Structure 1
Amino acid sequence: MTSPSNASRRSLLLPGLLAATLAGCVTVPSATVLSPERQAVAEQQQAAREAELRPRTDWSLAGRIAVSNGSNGGSGRIDWTQDRDGYRVALSAPVTRQSWQLSVDGATGVARLEGLEGGPRTGSDAALLLREATGWDIPVTSLGDWVRGLRSPAAGGAVIQFGPDLRPARIAQGGWDIAYTWPEASLDHAFPSRIDARRGDARVRLIVDQWGEAGAQDSR
């Protein structure tokens, strides 16, 4: 696959209109040192949560995302729809009406990126396809697990640091460090409200406005 020109890449960048919203006013909780007893409880709760949520393969979210990789980056709206082993991720900048969509066929594993100059591109590796087309390093293969506060089976061994509420404050896996913010209204809330993922110069910040089942999003 040939790499796109710099002009083609620039055409995909979403202006940073939402960057201030994503960067400010939200404090990412720190991990805490738990007693051995509370650490054991936190690990048991996380294992039970993953066993409950991982089989749920039909879900969706809507929110705001900011992506950067050194000087290359942008922000906009994101809609993610998971359908078993396949998914569709759409990003858009409402003001400029720029948008693109990444989809992966669950049966074949083929990824398709649309919204590009020169027409759609396809490939067998969704993250590589996205990086070659946009310059963005977005861990889409594992992000569907991480965004729900789960370890990713595709990313190898993981280290979890828990907060005082015994929910994950950070997950380190596959070279990425993912920090979590959870809603304060309910300690039993199943999903995070914000994640901040970093690997080197690459950063992905996501605020979730709605979680729901595929095709039927619900505000949380």
Structure 2
Amino acid sequence: MKAPACLCSHYRHLTRCQLPTLPNFLLRISCLCLLLLLSACATRPVVEYSVNALHHQRQLAQLQQWQVSGKLAFKSSEERFSANLHWQQRQDEYNIGLNSFIGTRLLSMQKQGGRVHLEYEDREYWHDNAAQLLEQMTGWVIPVSDLPLWIKGQASEEAMPAFADSGLIRRLTTDDGWQVSFSDYRQQDGYILPHALELSATDVQIRIRIDQWQLK
């Protein structure tokens, strides 16, 4: 959203003619007010959605092929890191990549045919359980098997979801101690999907920010 033309014209006039003669405190106030106005105009408007909760969950269950790009932040008592996240999902199989902000690969993980393949620190590992493999090799506790559902805003079978008045999941808890909150829902190709998730369990906090969804 652009600042009003009259404001822009007035500001250019001040810049050319009057700013040098204004007292310092007036100059600072004028600049601050302008920055606040422009920041408010640039903020993405909040869109309120309303769905039938049961229908929406069934719709998400039909979404079996997608990919997201975004950021993941992990924090525990022993380690913390942030990374670019790339996740491609096809039915029950996935391809996950975590890269540093300068492009260095931290790890990649693929699930194919019921087996999980992890590439980490120039070595390769195989396992039947992705979360166990990841924790054994890296020390990171991440609920990999549930994330394909949670990323979409879908409740896993053992989870206890809490729905907002909109019919969208606001948060959920699981029997094994995870608490997940969802926010910043947006519409994408006929689906309403979250763009921000916060996961917490004993001694672990994970934040996922989705910048882009691609649905197929």
- Using the size of structure 2 for normalisation, the TM-score is 0.70
Between structure 1 and structure 2, the one with the greater Rg is 2
Greater helix percent: which structure? Answer: 2
Contact 1:69 1:135 in 2 (8 A): no
Contact 1:73 1:136 in 2 (8 A): no
Contact 2:68 2:88 in 1 (8 A): yes
Shift in Å at residue 57 of structure 1? 1.0
Determine the C-alpha separation between the residues in 1 that align with 2:197 and 2:88.
Answer: 18
In terms of mean alpha carbon deviation, does 164-173 or 62-71 score higher? 164-173
1:163-202 → structure 2 map (5 Å cutoff) = 163-174=164-175, 175-183=177-185, 190-202=192-204
Corresponding residue of 1:152: 156
Paired letter, 1:182:
D
**Selected match of 2:102 from 95, 102, 113:** 95
Q: How many residues align?
A: 165
Contact 2:185 2:192 in 1 (8 A): no
Deviations 1:82-119 (A, max 9, x none): 011100110000326242101111x2x110111324x1
Determine the C-alpha separation between the residues in 1 that align with 2:120 and 2:136.
Answer: 14
Identify which of structures 1 and 2 has the higher relative contact order when contacts are C-alpha pairs closer than 8 Å and 6+ apart: 1
State the secondary structure of the residue aligned to 2:182: strand
Paired letter, 2:172:
I
Contact 2:186 2:195 in 1 (8 A): no
State the secondary structure of the residue aligned to 2:180: strand
Contact 1:86 1:104 in 2 (8 A): yes
Shift in Å at residue 190 of structure 1? 1.0
Shift in Å at residue 46 of structure 1? 2.2
Corresponding residue of 1:127: 131
1:17-166 → structure 2 map (5 Å cutoff) = 45-95=52-102, 97-105=104-112, 107=113, 109-117=114-122, 119-153=123-157, 156=158, 158-166=159-167
Paired letter, 2:98:
L
Deviations 1:23-44 (A, max 9, x none): xxxxxxxxxxxxxxxxxx97xx
Paired letter, 1:170:
R
Q: In structure 2, do the counterparts of structure 1 residues 124 and 184 end up closer, same or farther at CA, with 3 Å as the change threshold?
A: closer
Q: In structure 2, do the counterparts of structure 1 residues 72 and 48 end up closer, same or farther at CA, with 3 Å as the change threshold?
A: same
State the secondary structure of the residue aligned to 1:148: coil
Determine the C-alpha separation between the residues in 1 that align with 2:125 and 2:75.
Answer: 22
Deviations 1:33-70 (A, max 9, x none): xxxxxxxx97xx22211211212211110000001222
Determine the C-alpha separation between the residues in 2 that align with 1:78 and 1:195.
Answer: 13
State the secondary structure of the residue aligned to 2:146: helix
Q: In structure 2, do the counterparts of structure 1 residues 165 and 46 end up closer, same or farther at CA, with 3 Å as the change threshold?
A: closer
State the secondary structure of the residue aligned to 2:121: coil
- Using the size of structure 1 for normalisation, the TM-score is 0.69
Determine the C-alpha separation between the residues in 2 that align with 1:85 and 1:184.
Answer: 24
Determine the C-alpha separation between the residues in 1 that align with 2:101 and 2:168.
Answer: 34
Shift in Å at residue 132 of structure 1? 0.7
Paired letter, 1:173:
T
5+ long unaligned stretches in structure 2: 1-49
Shift in Å at residue 179 of structure 1? 0.7
Shift in Å at residue 189 of structure 1? 5.7
Contact 1:80 1:89 in 2 (8 A): yes
RMSD: 2.2
Paired letter, 2:154:
L
